[in-house]
Chains A and B, each alone.
Chain A
Amino acid sequence: MKKIYNLYRDFLIFILCCLISILLFLIKDTNNIKKVRFNISNLFSIIYSPKDLFNKLSSLEEENIILMNNLKIISENNKVLEQRLRDTKKYFKYDDKLSKLIPNYNFIPGRIIEHSFSGIADFFTINIGLKDGVPKDSKGVINFNGDLIGRTFSINDYNTQIHKITDKNFNVFVTTNNGIKGQFSYINGNNGMMASVSKKYEKEIEPGDTIYTSNSSTVFAPNIPVAKIISIKNSAQKHELDIKVKILADINSINNVFIVE
Chain B
Amino acid sequence: MIPFFLLLLLYAPIIYYNSSNLSPNFFIIIIIYCGFKYSRITIIIISFFLGIFQDFLIQYEYLGITSILIISFGYAIGNIKKIKNIYMKYIFIIISIFIFFYSNEFITSSENFFLIIKNSLINTFITVATYFLIRFLFRRRFFIIEK
* Interface residue ranges, A against B (CB under 8 Å): 9-10, 13-14, 17-18, 20-26, 28, 33, 36-37, 40-41, 44, 47-48, 51
Contact = CB atoms under 8 A, between A and B. Distances in A.
Contact of A51 (B10, B40, B41, B51): B10
A41 B55 CA distance: 11
B120 interface: no
B40 A21 contact: no
A40 B59 CA distance: 13
B108 to A, nearest CB: 13
B40 to A, nearest CB: 5
Contact of B53 (A13, A33, A40): A40
Contacts of B55: 24
B69 to A, nearest CB: 9
B75 A40 contact: no
B10 A47 contact: yes
- In this complex, the member of B10, B11, B56 whose beta carbon has the largest number of chain A beta carbons within 10 angstroms is B56
A9 to B, nearest CB: 6
B63 A25 contact: yes
A103 to B, nearest CB: 73
Contacts of B10: 47-48, 51
B52 A10 contact: no
B75 A14 contact: yes
A48 B10 CA distance: 7
Given A13-B45, A17-B67, A24-B67, 18 more contacts: A9-B41, A13-B41, A13-B44, A17-B44, A17-B45, A21-B52, A21-B64, A21-B65, A22-B68, A24-B63, A24-B64, A28-B64, A36-B56, A37-B56, A40-B56, A41-B57, A47-B10, A51-B11
Interface in B88-140: none
Given A10-B40, A10-B78, A17-B44, A25 B65 contact: yes
How extensive is the interface on chain B, given as a class?
A: 20 to 34
Interface in B30-71: 40-41, 44-45, 47-48, 51-53, 55-57, 60, 62-65, 67-68, 71
A47 B64 CA distance: 24
Contacts of A17: 44-45, 47-48, 67, 71
Contacts of A40: 53, 56-57
B71 A14 contact: yes
A96 B47 CA distance: 90
A9 B78 CA distance: 13
- In this complex, the member of A9, A14, A22 whose beta carbon has the largest number of chain B beta carbons within 10 angstroms is A14
A175 B48 CA distance: 106
Q: Which 5 A-B pairs have the closest CB atoms?
A: A25-B64, A24-B64, A17-B48, A21-B64, A28-B63
A148 B40 CA distance: 101
